[in-house]
Structure 1
Amino acid sequence: MATIVMEKIGRVFISLQQIRQVPRMLTEAAPSMPGTLRDNEVPHYFRERYICTGYRPLDQNWRYYFLSIFQRHNETINVWTHLLAFLVILVKLGQLTETVDFVHDPHSWPLLILILSSLIYSAFSVVAHLLGSKSELYHHVFFFLDYVGVAQYQYGSAIVHFYYAVDESLHRYVHGIFMPLATVLSCLSCLGCCYGKFCNHSLPTWVRKVGQVVPSALAYMWDSSPVAKRLMFWSTTSNDPALIFHFGQVAFFLSCAFFFTCPLLERCLPGRCDFVGQSHQIFHVLLSCCTLCQIHASHLDYVGRRELYSRLHRSGEAALFAGLYAVTLVGCALIVVFMLRKAKKVIDCKAKSK
């Protein structure tokens, strides 16, 4: 017995010794990571207002930018906030598949589109913040992709709000135009954001913000109108469990819209929020909370309001809205192709003039 115990202790000791070697092995296996730069050491189109340090050098190999997810720089928190949100939403999807038949129940398709669009915008945001420092061209490529993610998520929000949250009186007035207009507004939002990024430093900051915020604000007001009407009559439907989560998503969205438009912390503490504390990081966290509230509220509506939405929406309407989602993706993709051509021409002209 003593011999067996000693053998087990010896194995544990060997295992601990091997575990202690892991950090050294990883350090030796990883390539040396270049240090970060100050704002005056990178081109102007990479600089963010009031962020002074933590910029990654340009024109490194792709491995560097992928591995920089573990490096301390001014985009690290932006990457991890939406990466963690992506994983949480993925877990939520796995939980819902246990109770929701996403394959055979067409009424569940709007909920599925919302979740897929949430995963897409989170993933595209991670890619943009992780790889957007490669070069000026790739900066435009990945952030334009990020704006596609935002636009298609707006459509995902519209479809669940119109399908599950709408009441009979509003449905009567907007039935034929709600989703087509949601598609148009999503594409306009994508165009406004892409154009704002394209004119990043040729226009004043407030002009670019207006171009990015106004189309998105219009899309949000239209897409959320069914929820807004339900919240207005909260007192008459106080027993509705979804309303608290709808209120949560609205509150989180308005909060994250504030932090997106106003770099408050960086302005008050310039140079002290280069790694953590940026308004955009807070925007990411609040937007993720908004999305999770929205998914939960939509699931509650899917379960609790089935009699109403089954009566309001014709057979095959869910498939039609899913088709409009594909149209939205195609429209945003065409906008990105158009804007990338314009960006590439400008970049090529600058390269020739050097």
Structure 2
Amino acid sequence: MSNETLNIWTHFLPTWYFSWKLLASLWVLDVWSDSYTWPLVVFLVSCCIYPFTSSCAHTFSVMSTKARHICFFFDYGALSLYSLGSAIAYSAYSFPDAWLPSVFHDWYVPIAVVNTVISTGLSCYSRFPEMKRPQLSKVMRTMAFTYSYLFDSVPLFYRLYICAGEGSAENTVNHLKHIVLAVLTAFLFASHLPERLAPGRFDYIGHSHQLFHICAIFGTHFQMESITTDMATRRNWLAASTPRPSFRLTFGAFATSIVLSLMLTAAFSVALCRKTSCPGKEKPR
């Protein structure tokens, strides 16, 4: 039992819930011939990847300091992919009526791909000054994911707060639940509450990292519910107003981001090994 124990399970168990949702969707949807379903599939895959990668990172990060950094490089890449999956789903199902079609909608997913690179790169780089400047490291990491989330949510914010009335009241509540939980997740990550108020009392159960894991998972659940509802209720209107989702801006964008994230992870891992002189590597004389 350690402070990582529940961190592992709070993401490992939800991985199976999201995997079940993905398999259930693949069973009932005509994925092979209906491109309208592709953004949902990409989003659900990203929902499976990020908690699984996080649980692996928390499991194996205790092997060594070097392993900890590399494990969380993968974790940050997975979170960036989840952000892209959200953007792809929002682009297909949740954009406000007034922005369809628009230049912003045309460039929304490509910009989200670029944001994936920026978010992964900045968050991975933030681990290098962690020992000497921990506050700077924390700020950089928080900014990396806050920026991506805010960009992804721009059309959602506009639709909910400017164009109130688009969509059912129940689904609006689900969107708002997701937003509230996302804000709470960021607050817990940045504040280190409640353990800051009572050091030693929340080492195993109830510390901020566990709580923000739980908030993130519930937020993803409500996000999934709202996206699925938008997909079903807005289909006819979207079909008449926008082109069908393309392979390039769904699976293509997602695959491109996976490759770029893996390349960044490899680059930062190599840089880390060179900085710390990997075992087995002969030191220069």
Instruction: Confirm or deny a common fold (TM above 0.5).
Output: yes
Q: Tell me the residue number matched to 1:193.
A: 123
Higher-Rg structure is 1
Q: Tell me the residue number matched to 2:186.
A: 257
Q: Residue 196 of structure 2 aligns to a residue in which SS?
A: helix
1:250-301 deviation line (CA, Å, top 9, x unaligned) = 1110110100111021111111111111101000000000111111111111
Task: Please give the residue correspondences for 1:65-84 in structure 2 after superposition, counting only pairs within 5 Å.
Answer: 72-84=1-13
Measure, in 2, the Cα distance between the counterparts of 1:234 and 1:168.
Answer: 9
Preserved contact between residue 42 and residue 250 of structure 2 (Cα < 8 Å): no
Measure, in 2, the Cα distance between the counterparts of 1:242 and 1:318.
Answer: 27
Aligned with 1:293 (options 222, 226, 229)? 222
Aligned with 2:60 (options 131, 148, 153)? 131
Aligned with 1:174 (options 101, 104, 111)? 104
Give, as a single letter, the amino acid of the residue that structure 2 aligns with 1:103: W
Aligned with 1:202 (options 107, 128, 132)? 132
Matched positions, count = 281
Give, as a single letter, the amino acid of the residue that structure 2 aligns with 1:186: T
Task: Please give the residue correspondences for 1:142-161 in structure 2 after superposition, counting only pairs within 5 Å.
Answer: 142-161=71-90
1:42-80 deviation line (CA, Å, top 9, x unaligned) = xxxxxxxxxxxxxxxxxxxxxxxxxxxxxx111001000
Give, as a single letter, the amino acid of the residue that structure 2 aligns with 1:87: W
Aligned with 2:150 (options 212, 221, 225)? 221
By relative contact order (CA 8 Å, sep 6+), the higher-ranking structure is 2
Segment of structure 1 superposing worse, 97-106 or 81-90: 97-106
Measure, in 1, the Cα distance between the counterparts of 2:177 and 2:151.
Answer: 18
Segment of structure 1 superposing worse, 206-215 or 267-276: 206-215
User: Which runs of 4 or more aligned residues in structure 1 lie more than 3 Å from their structure 2 counterparts after TM superposition?
Assistant: 237-241, 349-353
Structure 1: 5+ residue runs without aligned partners?
A: 1-71
Measure, in 2, the Cα distance between the counterparts of 1:307 and 1:318.
Answer: 20
1:217-238 deviation line (CA, Å, top 9, x unaligned) = 1211111112111211464347
Structure 2: 5+ residue runs without aligned partners?
A: none
Q: Residue 127 of structure 2 aligns to a residue in which SS?
A: helix
Aligned with 2:257 (options 297, 314, 328)? 328
Segment of structure 1 superposing worse, 168-177 or 140-149: 168-177
Q: Tell me the residue number matched to 2:33.
A: 104
Task: Please give the residue correspondences for 1:33-112 in structure 2 after superposition, counting only pairs within 5 Å.
Answer: 72-112=1-41
Cα RMSD (Å): 2.0
Give, as a single letter, the amino acid of the residue that structure 2 aligns with 1:135: S
Q: Residue 139 of structure 1 aligns to a residue in which SS?
A: helix
Measure, in 2, the Cα distance between the counterparts of 1:251 and 1:90.
Answer: 24
